[in-house]
Structure 1
Amino acid sequence: MSKQIITDALLADILSVSRSTVEKWKIKGKIKPSKNGQYCLENLQHFEPIKSMINSQWEKQQNINPLRKYQSIELFAGAGGLAIGLEKAGFGAIALNEIDKDSCKTLRLNRPNWNVIEKDISKVNFANYSSYDIDLLSGGFPCQAFSYAGNKLGFEDVRGTLFFEFARAIKELKPKVFLGENVKGLLNHDQGKTLATIKTVIAELGYVLIEPKVLKAIFYRVPQKRERLFLIGIRKDLFKYTNFIWPDPFFRIMTLKDALKKGDLYDQDCPPSLGQNYPNKKQKIMEMIPPGGCWIDLPEDLKREYMGKSYFLGGGKTGIARRLSFDLPSLTLTCSPAQKQTERCHPQQTRPLTIREYARIQTFPDDWHFTGSISSQYRQIGNAVPVNLAWALGNQLVAVLNQIENRVEHINKRVNIAENSGQMNLFDFYSTV
């Protein structure tokens, strides 16, 4: 593997610090750039995220194969980012639930064989799938404020929230493993009360919750600075047979160039597609922004005019009038690339990112097409779990299910031996395993 050279900006992204912090480290001698101002990744192993990249077991984890076709059900499926990643890892979807009509059309268009249930989740009868041995239940349930009027802070107290519906599916389907996805803000939502209640409910349902973790998409072959919280639970009767490990990071960071140009991620340049346009006034403003820049790079008089009252507020507000850079990962995609607070301008052309460019930044395959209006397509893509991140997580879930599968096979063999030998009755046998 050739030595990797990174810039100040990329180092800041990897370590989740500001560029001014990187500058301070240089002054203090904590990091030492080469003559051209860049860094060799191997010389920065005293930073844990970089050490993890260099010592990664990524390729080994990517080659984990399911011992059989594992069956899954997905809730809040959206446009399919999580579902595609799990499919690539080896899961077969028994059903996918989604209420948005355009997202359902997208799923059906790309996977005509998928059983897409287009309805309010509260109206879904999970008893219809009780005959299936569900290995995985997954879904990104929206985070809502919970009422703490109840005393037990358990399952009944979260009625009326979409997490309750997710929990109801767990209770009725009893999957071996579940995967929940949410915004990282859930960690501290309502001063931590929301997550505490979720943990209580999960324990009440008979599952061991792996300590929730925020994963940064840039570490999993996704050219985007997206962070999401993941919750993984394993049924208590199976937990002792498992050893879940979060996926290791990829050994390099993918940039916008990797998304839009032929290279390691895609075998051709990004194909043309529809997209939004800027109004004339904004077009003239955006033409003045350099790659990687934002409103701060405008002349002083235009800064004040464009920002209005926001000019005097605190914070960098660097998402405003933002032009992306080919040399860095994209900012987190939102539901629109052209709104004032969340501009995502192409690095060379003065226009918002197109639908296909949006999809590539989320690592959707080029043959995955979206339905509905332009605004709806942006929203579907912006709300999705990046496919490659889902794939990396899916591989580790497959590893856990393989562990369970191996243990069950081992127990069955011992049962057969015990039965055939007649030397141990089954009651005594099961007390030993």
Structure 2
Amino acid sequence: MKESLSIAEFDGKKYKIRLVDSDSDNKAVITHYLHNVENGVAKYYEKDAKEYIADFLNYKYGEEQPKTVKETAIQELLFEVNNVPFPTPKNYTFKFIDLFAGIGGFRMAMQNLGGKCVYTSEWDEQAQKTYRANYGEIPFGDITKERNKAYIPDDFDVLCAGFPCQAFSIAGKRGGFEDTRGTLFFDVAEIIKRKKPKAIFLENVKGLRNHNGGKTLATILNVLRNDLGYFVPEPQIINAKDFGVPQNRERIFIVGFRKDLKIEEFKYPKPLDADVSFEKVKEENVVPTKYYLSTQYLQTLKNHKARHESKGNGFGYNIIPDSGIANAIVVGGMGRERNLVYDDRIIDFTPTTKIKGEVNREGIRKMTPREWARLQGFPDSFIIPVADASAYKQFGNSVAVPAIQATAEKILETAKIKHHAKRK
């Protein structure tokens, strides 16, 4: 067995343990087991988890390692998964699973409401790092693999999934369960079919409504309502700015309830009467010079915008005033270029990265990853353990926590699932 990046490394008086094995799904089994050692969910992970832990210890000590080392190792591992910024609520009242989890926006919202995550899946390795740093758990990888599906426990209350949008091959067909094969929605539907949670909560881009001429959404609703037997009210476009964060981010929310619950009506949350503006999430201190645009890059953006304006197009960079609301933060350069800000507090114009030209004197900079985190409703205690490029991608792909939490609270109320009321 080959030594690799560890789940945990512990220094004691007589030993050091470095966990091994390059298969992150094995590490997912271990952390999921450790998160559930005090409840019945552990049984879904226990056999394999104990085998993997034994393998790790045998690699270091051989078959003769002292029993005290094994016991101490387990205790240290338990400390590792629980000593995190956002542990499971001790008095949790419901269980959920987190599919296509990203960096845990759904998990943040559901834990705030008193939920316990009993399974999570996210294939991106950089996102897994961020997830582990904040929740003490490594997500399972590719959810299309039966091996990973097989670990999903029974008897959880809510299935959460921010699944990617894909077109289905449904030309001339009714667009049922079988027609979604080969898409990631099929895997979500298959899990719903097997586990039959009380409620489901799906999130996607606004464009899903018209994706593939509206056929994609029609197929999703048909599968959920007719094939899987869930009450699914009409999906709704929810804007993050209506729930306390200064970001104009519209996303489609799809909720559903198992029909035996006899739910016939669902009301999405009403917008908060909250005053939101970028200044409330802006960095309090002077930010590093690396976030300021170079003169040459800024001129390129100005030229690009001027060309499009001359053609009557509205493309190009945007500068968000302190009193304004950010555009949707999205993956890619335009996500940052449409969310530039003025910040004239800079005092050192010495470039800290390789740039063409010099640092601009107009005080124009990109938002920082922490500002993006705040725009998505993540608290400042949320750890960002990855490089900026990965951080922008992760926050750009994330759900907006406050909008998810407000809707989740309505779901729990409607399904009569006990929870902690957190919405102000």
Superposed CA offset, 1:103-126 (max 9, x none): 0110101111x3621334444543
User: What amino acid is the match of 1:94?
Assistant: V
- Corresponding residue number in structure 1 for 2:308: 310
Instruction: State the partner residue of 1:18.
Output: none
Of 332, 342, 351 in structure 2, the residue corresponding to residue 347 of structure 1 is 342
Tell me the TM-score normalized by structure 2: 0.67
Matched with 2:41 is: none
User: 1:410-421 alignment to 2 at 5 Å?
Assistant: none
**How do 1:347-426 and structure 2 match up within 5 A?**
347-348=342-343, 349-402=363-416
1:77 to 91, 96, 101: 101
8 Å CA contact retained: 2:241, 2:247: yes
Quote the offset at 1:74 in angstroms. Answer: 1.0
1:329 aligns with 2:325: yes
Contact kept? 1:323, 1:344, Cα under 8 Å:
yes
2:198 counterpart of 1:143: no
**1:281 is aligned to 2:281:** no
| 1:274 Cα deviation from its structure 2 partner | 9.1
- 1:152-163 to structure 2, matched below 5 A, reads 152-163=174-185
* TM superposition shift of 1:149: 4.5
Superposition deviation, residue 150 in structure 1: 6.7
The answer as to 2:234 corresponding to 1:239 is: no
Measured after TM superposition, the shift of residue 161 of structure 1 is 0.7
User: How many Å separate the matches in 1 of 2:149 and 2:93?
Assistant: 21
Aligned-partner Cα distance in 2 for 1:334–1:96: 23
Once the 2 structures are TM-superposed, how far is the Cα of residue 280 of structure 1 from its aligned partner? 3.1
Number of residues paired by the alignment?
311
Q: Indicate which of 93, 102, 105 corresponds to 2:129.
A: 105
Query: How many angstroms apart in 2 are the aligned matches of 1:381 and 1:198?
Result: 26
Q: 1:128 to 1:373 in 2, by over 3 A?
A: same
- With over 3 angstroms needed to count, the CA separation of the structure-2 counterparts of 1:368 and 1:79, relative to structure 1, is same
The amino acid of 1:139's aligned partner reads A
* Distance in 2 (alpha carbons) for counterparts of 1:79 and 1:403: 25
User: SS at 2:211's partner residue?
Assistant: helix
1:116 alignment partner AA: P
Greater CA drift, 74-83 or 99-108 = 74-83
| Distance apart, 1:399 and its partner CA | 0.9
Aligned to 1:180: 202
Alignment partners' CA distance in 2, 1:306 and 1:128:
50
Deviation at 1:362, TM superposition (A): 1.2
Residue 149 (structure 2) pairs with residue 126 (structure 1): yes
The Cα of 1:165 is off from its aligned counterpart by 1.1
- Quick one: distance in 2 between partners of 1:128 and 1:200? 27
Question: Does residue 86 of structure 2 align to residue 91 of structure 1?
Answer: no
Counterpart-to-counterpart distance in 2, 1:86 and 1:311: 44
Query: In 2, are the aligned partners of 1:215 and 1:230 still within 8 Å (CA)?
Result: yes
Distance 1:124 1:274 in 2: 47
CA-CA distance at 1:309 after TM superposition: 5.2
Q: TM-score, normalised by structure 1?
A: 0.66
Deviates more, 1:143-152 or 1:357-366: 143-152
Tell me the SS of whatever aligns to 1:181: strand
TM-aligned CA distance change 1:276 to 1:163, over 3 Å: farther
Q: Write the distance in 2 (CA, Å) between the matches of 1:164 and 1:142.
A: 11
CA distance in 2: counterparts of 1:135 and 1:72, whole angstroms: 6
The CA deviation at 1:273 is 7.1
**What is the distance in 2 between the residues matched to 1:162 and 1:275?**
38
Contact 2:328 2:335 in 1 (8 A): no
Paired residues of 2:208 and 2:252 also in contact (CA < 8 A): yes
State the one-letter code of the partner of 1:205: L
2:203·2:253 contact (CA, 8 Å) conserved in 1? Answer: yes
1-structure distance, mates of 2:288, 2:407: 30
Give the aligned CA root-mean-square deviation in angstroms: 2.8
Deviation at 1:307, TM superposition (A): 3.9
Contact 2:245 2:376 survives alignment (8 Å): yes
* 8 Å CA contact retained: 2:143, 2:149: no
What is the distance in 2 between the residues matched to 1:153 and 1:248?
A: 32
Choose between structure 1 and 2 for higher RCO, CA contacts under 8 A separated by at least 6 residues: 1
Q: What corresponds to 1:219 in structure 2?
A: 242
> Whole-Å Cα distance in 2 between the matches of residues 259 and 325 of structure 1?
12
Q: Which runs of 5+ in 2 are unaligned?
A: 1-88, 344-362, 420-424
8 A Cα contact 2:277 2:322, kept in partner? yes
Q: What is the CA–CA distance in structure 2 between the aligned matches of 1:177 and 1:273, rounded to whole Å?
A: 45
SS at match of 1:402: coil
2:406 counterpart letter in structure 1: A
The percentage of aligned residue pairs carrying the same residue is 33
Distance change in 2, residues 1:128/1:282 (3 Å): closer
Distance 1:340 1:370, change over 3 A: closer
Contact 1:90 1:398 in 2 (8 A): no
Task: Indicate the residue corresponding to 1:117 in structure 2.
Answer: 140
Q: Cα gap change, 1:280/1:342 in structure 2, threshold over 3 Å: closer, same or farther? A: closer
The question of whether the paired residues in 1 share the 8 Å contact of 2:201 and 2:256 is answered with: yes
Deviation string for 1:62-88 (max 9, x for gaps)? xxx9x9611000110001122211211
Query: CA contact under 8 A between 2:108 and 2:401: conserved in structure 1?
Result: yes
Is the contact between residue 99 and residue 121 of structure 1 (CA under 8 Å) also seen in structure 2? no
Q: Does the 8 Å CA contact 1:70/1:90 hold for their aligned counterparts? A: yes
